[in-house]
Amino acid sequence: MACPFQQTAEINPALQPLDWLLGTWESDEPGQGTFPTINPFRYTEMLHFSHVGQPIINFMFNAFHTETKKPLHRECGFIRMQPGTNKVAFIIAQNSGLVEIEEGELIGQQLNLQSQAVARISFAKQPHVQQVSRVFKLRPDGKLEQTVSMATDSQPLMQHLHITYHPSS
């Protein structure tokens, strides 16, 4: 069951600097996933950012395997901005059993985030994720780019995912 998102309310002034994220985004071309402990893979993804007038953006990310179309990871959560600053926080729950709090800064139309807390279910697959960094950037051509890096018990922080999206009509 999908979360109901209504976007009839006016955007809360605290979120105005992030209004460029709002809406639905679909991957242009398959994204690339790599990490030393897994086989490289390609994926497509749809992102949905919405609000209901509160000083919070709701989001849902759904990724699919490019060739088989099978669902891969799903993430949902909330984005908050500290009023009067460029400080941003993502609160993320993933279907893999990982929960994160990422914080960072909004610089123009780029979000730079670093994990502040990572928790997981007791029977999560190893190696365990220890750190995540994420960059969202709105490019001059109107496309959204996301790069995700991660560190695990056995690997240092390195790029894991990269993908570009266009606004969905």
| CATH code for position 160 | 2.40.128.20
Task: Say what the pLDDT of residue 12 is.
Answer: 94
Residues 6+ apart with CB under 8 A from 124: 96, 97, 98
Domain that holds residue 100: 13-167
Task: Say what the pLDDT of residue 7 is.
Answer: 52
| Cα 30 from Cα 55, distance rounded (Å) | 32
> Domain for residue 149, yes or no?
yes
Task: Say what the pLDDT of residue 134 is.
Answer: 98
| Cα 161 from Cα 148, distance rounded (Å) | 5
> Domain for residue 5, yes or no?
no
| 50-88 tens-digit pLDDT | 999 999 999 999 999 999 999 999 999 999 999 899 999
> Domain for residue 8, yes or no?
no
| 7-59 tens-digit pLDDT | 579 999 999 999 999 999 999 899 999 999 999 999 999 999 999 999 999 99
Confidence band (pLDDT; 50, 70, 90) for 1? Answer: very low
> Domain for residue 7, yes or no?
no
> Domain for residue 4, yes or no?
no
| Cα 98 from Cα 113, distance rounded (Å) | 17
| Cα 4 from Cα 10, distance rounded (Å) | 17
Confidence band (pLDDT; 50, 70, 90) for 163? Answer: very high
Q: Average per-residue pLDDT in the chain?
A: 94
For the chain, what's the residue count? Answer: 169
Task: Say what the pLDDT of residue 8 is.
Answer: 72
Q: What's the number of domains the chain is made of? A: 1
The closest of 103, 92, 155 to 129, measured between CA atoms, is 155
